[in-house]
Amino acid sequence: MAETHHFDVSRLFGVKGYVAVVTGGGSGIGLMAAQALAQNGAKVYITGRRMEALEAAAKSHDPSHVGQIIPVGPCDVTKKDDLEKLVAQMQEKEKYIHLLVCNAGVSGPKAEPKHKDAADLKKELWEKESVEQWGQTFEVDVTSVYFTTVAFLPLLQAGTRAQGGPLEPFAPSVITISSMSGLMRHAQGHFSYNAAKGATVHLSKLMSAEFQKAGIRRREPEEPPGAREDPDKEHVPLMRAGREEEMGMTVLYLARNQYVNGEIIAVDGGVLNVLAGR
């Protein structure tokens, strides 16, 4: 039986000594994840396409705190050469990483299916979306998640041989930031984005099952309402956008709880309780 002091919050969710990499870490949910991890002791490398955004994000973190936010890159996660260069950079800096957060993503084109007349509906969707836009959305939101994870497998596995913190044995982790849009039947005018996020959900489950033999576990939180744009308050029971701290709580929970593997956690304010899901 655990003693009461074993449930101290710093012991349960502290990540002191952890080494993490966050893609798309210069803003939005990626930066939220980096801040939550760094504030609780982790050394967090953030990457993305624009070094100026990464450097600005790193400077916003108070260096007097326990953890660090360090820009690395630049890296376009849709390019294998960039991913190889990023991994090489990380191998020069660290012998292993404990956590990879795949956050980079795009919202894709928007076309509202608001017309009842089929001809008008076709015109709206046909003219406002393109095959190229759909391809780009899937390339960033799905394909890059796969190749980013594969690129970092050796550094992740190396973490199994290192001290993992107060809870042992330690399993290196991958967190994918998806969206509740990948779980609902309401398109929100984002057919390509919602379809891509649905694919990301299943991809994460596939990788969780297949990569566990390498000692790597995977979980996936869904972004909160308001992460991409103002939420439709009519569909959010809490009647507000998700807060940055609420996403940070989820990242810390998934980073530390070794008994969670291959799970999808919807940080949605209750949206999926009122909108049809799968």
Reference 47, options 126, 100, 1; nearest CA is 100
The identity of residue 5, as a single letter, is: H
- Lowest model confidence (mean pLDDT) among 47-56, 90-99, 155-164, 212-221: 155-164
Give the pLDDT confidence of 168-200 residue by residue, as tens digits.
556 789 999 998 888 888 888 899 999 999 999
User: What CATH number has the domain spanning 13-159+167-270?
Assistant: 3.40.50.720
The Cα-based distances of 214 to 148, 151, 152, 200, 266 in angstroms read 16, 14, 12, 21, 27
Question: pLDDT band at residue 1, thresholds of 50, 70 and 90?
Answer: confident
What is the DSSP pairing of strand 264-266 with strand 19-23? unpaired
Rg, the chain, Cα only: 19
Give the pLDDT confidence of 37-85 residue by residue, as tens digits.
999 999 999 999 999 999 999 998 876 668 999 999 999 999 999 999 9
- The answer to whether 185 and 277 are in contact (CB under 8 A) is yes
- The reported pLDDT for the residue numbered 187 is 85
Instruction: Identify the H or E element spanning 70.
Output: strand 68-71
Helix (H, G, I), strand (E, B) or coil at 239: coil
* Cα–Cα dist 36/267, whole Å: 16
- For the cut 60, the answer to whether the pLDDT of residue 8 exceeds it is yes
Question: pLDDT band at residue 231, thresholds of 50, 70 and 90?
Answer: very low
* Cα–Cα dist 170/8, whole Å: 19
Helices (H), the chain: 9-13, 28-39, 51-59, 80-93, 118-128, 131-138, 144-158, 191-211, 244-256, 271-274
- For the cut 50, the answer to whether the pLDDT of residue 164 exceeds it is no
- The reported pLDDT for the residue numbered 182 is 85
Question: pLDDT band at residue 233, thresholds of 50, 70 and 90?
Answer: low
Average of per-residue pLDDT values in the chain = 87
Enumerate the active-site residues. 178, 193, 197
Question: pLDDT band at residue 234, thresholds of 50, 70 and 90?
Answer: low
Cis peptide before 71 (omega within 30 of 0): no
Q: 208-240 burial string, b = 16+ CB within 10 Å, else e?
A: beebeeeebbbbbbbbbbbbbeebeeebbeeee
* Cα–Cα dist 48/24, whole Å: 5
Question: pLDDT band at residue 96, thresholds of 50, 70 and 90?
Answer: very high
Helices (H), 178-270: 191-211, 244-256
Ramachandran angles phi, psi of 179, nearest 5°: -160, 150
